[in-house]
Amino acid sequence: MITTEPNMTNLFLQLGLDESEEAIAAFIVGNQLPSDVKVTQASIWSESQRQFLSESLKSDAAWAIVVDELNEALHSDADKASSGN
């Protein structure tokens, strides 16, 4: 049973990363992924972080929504480039 509310702050806590708004924003800006790299395959994660992200997406549980939001944020530069914006 999940007792922690699934949101970006708590996702970063689950991943063992700094959860402050500034740190999350800096992480996202500093770790943009190419469009062909899945969030779960990115080299920025440790094996345990990768496993948590993969399991969250596979289970389609409450964390899946937040992991998907992180995925979108980490691909925002690639998405802008492909749309010409």
Q: CA-CA distance, 49 to 77, in Å (whole number)?
A: 23
pTM: 0.86
Domain that holds residue 63: 46-79
Does residue 21 lie in a domain region?
no
Does residue 64 lie in a domain region?
yes
Question: Number of structural domains, the chain?
Answer: 1
Does residue 57 lie in a domain region?
yes
Reported as a single tens digit per residue, the pLDDT across 55-74 is: 999 987 789 999 999 999 99
Reported as a single tens digit per residue, the pLDDT across 70-83 is: 999 999 987 777 66
Residues 6+ apart with CB under 8 A from 24: 8, 9, 12, 18
